[in-house]
């Protein structure tokens, strides 16, 4: 099985060591797992908890 991280560079916040935007899995078929949107403030910082992130979405 081959896995490929998919992280677009333009128009979206950067990926981090513990977060990727999508993961492609190949062999025997091809699947794409897409992450959700994080709640980030104007500086690109996530809120401390889920409730705070949901307020930012």
Q: What is the pTM of this model?
A: 0.58
| 6-34 pLDDT tens trace | 988 776 777 888 888 899 999 889 999 99
- Bridge-partner residues for 32, per DSSP? 24
**pLDDT confidence of residue 30:** 95
Is residue 53 within 8 Å of 47, Cβ to Cβ? yes
DSSP letter at 6?
E
Helix H or strand E encompassing 37? none
Residue 8: C-alpha distances to residues 1, 12, 13, 38 (Å): 22, 7, 9, 15
| 37-57 pLDDT tens trace | 777 787 878 888 888 888 887
**pLDDT confidence of residue 4:** 94
């Amino acid at each position: 099985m081959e896995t490929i991280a998919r992280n677009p560079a333009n128009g979206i916040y950067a990926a981090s060591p513990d977060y990727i935007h999508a993961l492609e899995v190949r062999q025997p078929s091809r699947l794409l797992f897409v992450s959700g949107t994080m709640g980030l403030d104007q500086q690109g910082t996530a809120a401390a908890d889920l409730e705070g992130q949901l307020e930012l979405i």
